[in-house]
Amino acid sequence: MTKRFVRCAACMGIAACLVVLAFGLTLRLLGLTTPVTRANVERIHEGMSRAEVEAILGGPGERDYTHPPTFLDPPTHAYRWSGAYGVAWVGFAFSSGPDEIVRWTEFEPTWRSNRRDPMRSLRAWLGR
């Protein structure tokens, strides 16, 4: 009986793992996961090219607006990426080469992303 119980437990564990993997694969194939997250925006740093940013954020962004040049700074073009957890803005300036390079980044979470994180709600409730 012990051998039978061990086999049954092992089969149930394997079945549970297969269900979790199938669920994750389904989310990925249906495009229900989004690369536009605060963590991915924090991976972007000044000096990266637009191609590198597009690889991190999952494709080209929408051109949002242009900052005119100032005395110290060249003109900056802001691009926007939208996702389920928020909106990422990345400002690009022309470098000495043909590519645009990152000058600044910003991430604005949506109300849904604040609601989905119970730890953030608990910290806010505790005043931390």
Q: For residue range 28-47, what is the model confidence (pLDDT) as tens digits?
A: 665 556 788 899 999 999 98
Q: Confirm if 88 and 81 have CB atoms less than 8 A apart.
A: yes
Query: Taking the C-alpha atoms of 9, 14, 19 and 20 in order, what is their torsion angle to the nearest 10 degrees?
Result: 100
What's the pLDDT score for residue 21? 85
Tally of CB atoms within 10 A around 64 = 14
User: At 94, which CATH number?
Assistant: 3.30.1450.10
Q: Mean pLDDT for the chain?
A: 80
Same-domain check for residues 29 and 56: no
- pLDDT of 112 higher than 60: no
Same-domain check for residues 7 and 55: no
For 57, the domain range is: 34-126
Query: Strands 76-82 and 100-109: what pairing?
Result: unpaired
